[in-house]
Structure 1
Amino acid sequence: MRIVMQPARRSEKDVDQHYQDTIVNPVVFDDHADLFDASTVAQLKELFPDGQARMWGIVPGKKNVNVSKINKMRPGDWVFFSGDKRVYLGGTVALMWRNKELAKRLWGTDHNDSTWEYMYALSGTRGFDIPVEEVRSLLGWNPNRNIMGITVLSDGESDTLQTLLTLDPATATPQPVDSAEEEAAVAAFDGELERTAQRAQRGEQAALKKRLLKGSTGQCALCGRTLPGTFLIAAHIKKRAMCSDDEKRDLANIAMLACTFGCDAVYEHGYVTVDADGAIQVSPLAEGILEVEAYIRERLAGKTVSWWTPSREPYYQWHRTHTFKASLTP
């Protein structure tokens, strides 16, 4: 999936009103049945059985400057909303369509009498709190570069952000797959099959685990179960790839023991996090996955993590703002 940067400064009154009207408060399809194309509303209802979805739109721009960028977007792409020097919202493009009259009803027109007619519905939306300078640094951008208009990142930039921020795809319109093209891409692949960093990382993992696991058994920091060391890993509290060299060497604080029966996965993918008091916080998106919700309810909900300390809080805080599938900012 590609990543799209959507500028939307909520410090601007009109932008914040649009955000309230169609992101904080999802659009109910039946309220606008008179303007929806039958095919579009049918697809939306299939994707969103509860009959509502969060929506946003893009203006064509002067001399249709935005259209070529819009044409690069596809359902399944991830969108980051940014403004006021922060990335604050993310989600998956579930469906795209063009509807000038519906856009006018939802958002009106801008000072050029244009409207945000290239519309899209978002699924799997979650809150973030990431400084834009951190995104610039990750992607190797010029320190003064700003996200001024809709921007579709390259495949390489998208892969970097997707991997480092653990962006899981959400529901979107299925895209046709060209099997012959996929097979050709696999056959033509001549990249590295082994990465040279793996050996060093395994050595670091062994050193971390040795420090955390004092005997043949240990306690999972999240669920609290005492388990054989075989079923425990030294899980980085802050994603390792995002750590500075000093943070990687902070063996006393950077990692925790997490069990392979589920705790490592739900933490790694942001369905739970640890708040500033050490209590486990559950993502609202866990409710949409029955097995994940059941595991969290049975093993994690309501627990306080004894592993939390003030010296580890900065790492947990990073996880809350970058990886945790948080609620939207009102």
Structure 2
Amino acid sequence: MSTATEPTATPTTRRTTTAPVITVRDLTRTYRPTGRKKDAYTAVDGISFEVRRGEVYGLLGTNGAGKTSSLEVIEGLAAPTGGTVAIFGHDPKTDRDIVRPDLGIMLQNGGLPKELTVAETMRMWAGTCSTPRPTAEVLAEVDLTHRLTTRVGSLSGGEQRRLDLACALLNDPRVIFLDEPTTGLDPESRARTWELLADLKARGVTMVLTTHYLEEAERLADRIAIMHAGRIAVEGSLDDLVAAEGAEITATLPGNGPGAGPDALPHLPDTTGFPDFPGALVSRDGDRLRIQTTHLQRDAHRLLDWAAAQGITFDHFTARPASLERVFHRIAGADAQAA
């Protein structure tokens, strides 16, 4: 592997360094048709973040949020309109000859030649690497050894994604960009891929991950950024993001079934000693109660104790902890409202 990117580093110091491997500052990318300034479109609007060695950084977002446009610049495939990107202190586009030997890139669509076999594809790809790993070793990691003589076009969608990953791992990269790495994989193959990525992380490999599988981000990412309209709407660890979101309790009061009259709800929260929920947001829509809280266990107990004291059996009751899915959909909902 190239060592020019870190001339004073040793394997030991790389394991302990806290310096950012990837630094993004005020990154902007605008698409402007020639001579038609009024039609300019800013896909990435001044985003900034850092990724440290051995960290998995999840870059999520709704369709059109700017993830792909951001990645193309960070990977060195396109120039930014504004701002800067550095990988090991080097510009990934202008210093590509220095940075590229340490990068592994798994694009959303690999575009490998369909007529080549798996073995031929790996030999071709190895020819582009300065110090490739043994192809048999890499194919074993992605469970494709048994498909050596199979043409790429005859592989299943999931197998093609595993071949894309093998190509990204062939040069033993220190930084890997993973764009939807497990799309098309069956659950067993997805789990094996997660194990492989976890092993790479344990070896100190730095990864930037984009995925539509929120469980994948929850499982792999140390920190997560969710993009919204070209900007980073939220960023932090999974615990940070869900703590800010809060949990939700919903309950449906009885007595609103078929034939129920206007007096069918004998125990109303505002007239029967309904408990306090400090710091929570309590709302009611007809017979449905909703409590948004950061104290799920405490407030669920209070509501259930109140119901027992009133002799109420809820027709429906849920207590859902905060989740990345709820954070994501809140941001996506804001996107829809803005549109």
User: TM-score under structure 2 normalisation?
Assistant: 0.27
Larger-Rg structure: 2
